Chain A
């Protein structure tokens, strides 16, 4: 396994598929919080390529990101938590992620139902993941037939972070998950909290009703319904794990990046897009929240003229409280200026 590349000062050139598939997060010339949910699987074409067809996306960073997740879980097991009543939801999430992988990449993943489950019995399934050389048969609900807890086992095979929300008394609770690539939050801290509590610190969204509306919307999701939204921030270095727990490791990068020369700035600062999917899991009725983080360095972003221009405008205009919450207040002016300075000379 290759070591995580996040700390290497000379980041390697971004693989072409990561540029072509980058979900550029700014459809509009300014950015505000909205309940920007839409049905999943819609393909979005961009000046560099396209994204959005798959709910679970596999790209050329697969091996590298999975290795990084494994290393993080090894160091900090609190990134994986399952409250006892979420056991069925974890099996449910595992089956759903397997199906989505098989849909996205039928050449590499297959899930086969081996027998019928009539009368409350349990079916056997055969799962093949050719990318990792896995060919495994298991019985639904029988933990002894899996090498690991179902949620941890399947999140070792997808690049997405996963949170499972239980719904009771009209409220959604974040009661299980594997989150190793959090952007400025902590799953270990949030587990067991309600959806509304988790979003407590976000400025503006309460007065603008965005979160209560999202909460109502999620509760109305019917079995198997799948929606998505995007979110974004900036990250210094290609660093996936910028969670609250590891703040001492990456916090100093924010002032540091103001001191580097322009060429280094363009290489270090990344636009980070989160593509988030919401799926109502059928058997448990839990809601699966998937967060996939994509990082594109500014020097690559600036090569796509439409992206450069739009990102410069959005970052320059962003209100101060929102920039503050995103943790980019110290360097967003330089980020906008840097992008503007790359404008092609007429």
Chain B
């Protein structure tokens, strides 16, 4: 549903305990597409080795953004369910990759871009949340914008410390504990010129604390930005079946209804394939499973009627009996 690119693992760096920095290259060694600072890749994590289904994990890009030769990500290993943890196993899988392995990913997606009208950029990160902020700082240094960065990490567990020092010099402050951070931020947040924007990324509790403090000190929410991790890509969705012209087709996860119909030789008018133009509307017969509308085209009233959907993005979800099936007419 979302286009994928293929990448090769070109280098791994495990110098910081628990964190792996991965360098990915194009298979032909050429330059990769440029991206907006703060962008992430969504890596496809295959099923198997304790992972019941394939997954898609988002990781912020930390490296050069203009005409890059590599994409770089840093991944904190979270204990998967099989080891008594709660993670889906994607980060553990990244930690198993070796040089030369091939992976697939979406092209870079942007959901945490610097605001250009800002007069100054204040970046506050904790732990692995430093990754998108490193990319912001690189861009600010390049374009000569006013920026400063505060980075909270446990001693010995800080990723990218040397890189940040080299890049930002005295614009970068390293802190080792929450108490020190609170003290620092009270002063720093009170002291910013009007027009400064605040960007924060890290564990949820940490971001909440930063945002609460900013709100207390009178920062309007329009000048405070959080990294909304991993919500940008349309998720591949669950599989379902579709009955059309007396035939039953499978629509696997990651395949759209439109693609499944086309693969079976049906002609469905379409233009945008993104749920906006209204071309690929398909009529749904009664007795179908509930619909998951993900388009921007149909209005509430039409959705309520439940008798059509946009085939390029929308899907069926299981009914009470657990069956996910659509009967459509073209």
Instruction: Say yes or no: is B222 at the interface (Cβ < 8 Å to chain A).
Output: yes
For residue A118, which residues in chain B have a CB less than 8 angstroms away from its CB?
64
> Cβ of A223: which chain B residues have Cβ within 8 Å of it?
33-36, 39, 107-110
CA distance A280 to B110 in the complex (A): 10
Chain B CB within 8 A of A141 CB: yes
Return the contact of B65 from the options A209, A213, A282 (Cβ within 8 A): A282
Question: A222 and B107: CB pair below 8 A?
Answer: yes
A285 at the interface (CB under 8 A from B): yes
Q: Which of A85, A214, A222 contacts B276 (CB 8 A)?
A: A214
CB neighbours (8 Å) of B67 from chain A are 113, 117, 123
Q: Which of B110, B138, B139, B272 touches A37 (beta carbons < 8 Å)?
A: B272
Q: Are A285 and B113 in contact (CB under 8 A)?
A: yes
Distance between Cα atoms of A227 and B277 in the complex (Å): 12
Q: Hey, what's the 0/1 contact readout for A266-310 against B, CB within 8 Å counting as 1?
A: 000000000000001011111000000000000000000000000
Q: How distant is A75 from chain B, measured CB to nearest CB, in Å?
A: 31
Provide the residues of chain A in CB contact with B277, threshold 8 Å: 34-38
Q: Using CB atoms, name the residue of chain A closest to B167.
A: A120
Give the secondary structure class of B's interface: loop
Contact between chains at A217 and B34 (CB < 8 Å): no
Q: Which residues of A contact B241 (CB under 8 A)?
A: none
Which residues of chain A have C-beta atoms less than 8 A from B64's C-beta?
A: 116-118
Residues of B with C-beta under 8 A to A89: 116
CA distance A220 to B142 in the complex (A): 26
Interface residues of A in 83-140 (CB under 8 A from B): 85-89, 113, 116-123, 140
In contact, B142 and A120 (Cβ under 8 angstroms): yes
Minimum Cβ distance to chain B for residue A302 (Å): 29
Which residues of B pack against A, CB within 8 Å? 31, 33-37, 39, 64-67, 69, 107-110, 113-117, 138-139, 141-143, 166-167, 222, 232, 271-274, 276-278, 296-297, 299
Among residues of B, the one whose C-beta sits closest to the C-beta of A121 is: B142
Within 8 A of B (CB), among A197-232: 209, 213-214, 216-217, 220, 222-224, 227
State whether B276 touches A282 (Cβ < 8 A).
no
Q: Are A166 and B276 in contact (CB under 8 A)?
A: no
Q: Count how many pairs of residues, one from A and one from B, have CB atoms less than 8 Å apart in the complex.
A: 110
Are the CB atoms of B296 and A285 closer together than 8 Å?
A: no
Q: Output the nearest chain A residue to B163 by Cβ-Cβ distance.
A: A119
- Evaluate whether A35 and B276 lie within 8 angstroms (CB atoms) in the complex, with A86-B116, A116-B69 already known: yes
Whole-angstrom CA separation of A141 from B232 in the bound complex: 30
Q: Knowing A85-B116, A119-B166 are in contact, say whether A213-B276 is a contact too (CB < 8 A).
A: yes
Q: Answer whether residue A169 sits at the interface, using C-beta atoms and an 8 A cutoff.
A: yes
Shortest beta-carbon distance from B115 to chain A in Å:
5
Interface centre among B115, B117, B299 (most CB of A within 10 A): B117
Is B272 within 8 A of A222, CB to CB? no
Q: A35-B276, A37-B272 are in contact. Are A141 and B69 (CB under 8 A)?
A: no
Which of A87, A122, A166, A284 has the most B CB atoms < 10 Å from its CB?
A284
- Does A120 contact B66, Cβ atoms closer than 8 Å? no
A36 and B66 contacting across the interface, CB-CB below 8 Å? no
Q: Is A29 an interface residue (CB 8 A)?
A: no
A39 an interface residue at 8 Å Cβ cutoff? Answer: yes
Contact A217 B142 (CB under 8 A): no
Instruction: Please indicate the chain B residues that have their CB under 8 angstroms from the CB of A39 in the complex.
Output: 272-273
User: Within 8 Å CB of A285, what residues of B?
Assistant: 36, 110, 113-114, 116
> Would you give the shortest CB distance from B302 to chain A, in whole angstroms?
12
Provide the bound-state CA to CA distance between A168 and B113, in Å: 10
Which residues of B are found within 8 Å of A209, using beta-carbon distances? 299
Name A213's contact: one of B107, B222, B296 (CB within 8 Å): B296
Per the CB 8 Å criterion, the residue count for chain A at the interface is 42
**Would A141 and B35 be within 8 Å (CB), given that A117-B66, A117-B67 are in contact?**
no
CA distance A204 to B117 in the complex (A): 33
Contact B107 A36 (CB under 8 A): no
Given A214-B276, A224-B107, A285-B116, 14 further pairs, Cβ under 8 A: A35-B272, A35-B278, A140-B66, A166-B117, A222-B109, A223-B33, A223-B36, A223-B110, A224-B35, A280-B110, A282-B66, A284-B36, A285-B110, A285-B113
Q: How far is the CA of A116 from the CA of B138 in the complex (A)?
A: 14
With known contacts A223-B39, A223-B107, A38–B272 Cβ distance under 8 A: yes
Min Cβ gap B110→A in Å is 5
Q: In the bound complex, what is the Cα–Cα distance between A88 and B144 (angstroms)?
A: 11
**Cα A166 to Cα B69 with chains together (Å):** 27
Most buried by A among B31, B33, B277: B277
CB distance from B39 to the nearest CB of A (A): 6
**With A85-B117, A223-B35 in contact, do A123 and B66 touch (Cβ < 8 Å)?**
yes
Are B297's CB and A213's CB within 8 A?
yes
Q: Are A282 and B35 in contact (CB under 8 A)?
A: yes
Residue of B at shortest CB range from A217?
A: B276
Residue with the highest number of chain B CB atoms closer than 10 Å, among A38, A39, A140, A222: A222
> In the complex, which residues of chain B have a beta carbon less than 8 angstroms from the beta carbon of A87?
143
Report the separation of the CA atoms of residues A216 and B297 in the bound assembly, to the nearest whole angstrom.
Answer: 10
- List A contacts of B37 (CB < 8 A): 283
Name A89's closest neighbour in chain B (CB-CB).
B116
Among residues of A, the one whose C-beta sits closest to the C-beta of B37 is: A283
Across-interface contacts of A169 in B (CB, < 8 A)? 222
Residue pair B116, A113 in contact (C-beta under 8 Å): no
A206 CA / B244 CA spacing, docked (Å): 36
In the complex the two chains form, is A284's CB within 8 Å of B116's CB? yes
Q: Report the minimum CB–CB distance from B36 to chain A (whole Å).
A: 4
Residue contact A224 to B34, C-beta cutoff 8 Å: yes
A to B CB contacts below 8 Å, 24 in the list:
A37-B276, A38-B271, A39-B272, A88-B116, A88-B143, A116-B64, A116-B69, A117-B67, A120-B139, A120-B167, A121-B142, A123-B67, A141-B143, A166-B117, A214-B276, A216-B296, A223-B107, A224-B33, A224-B35, A224-B107, A282-B33, A282-B66, A283-B36, A285-B114
A214: chain B residues at CB < 8 Å are 276
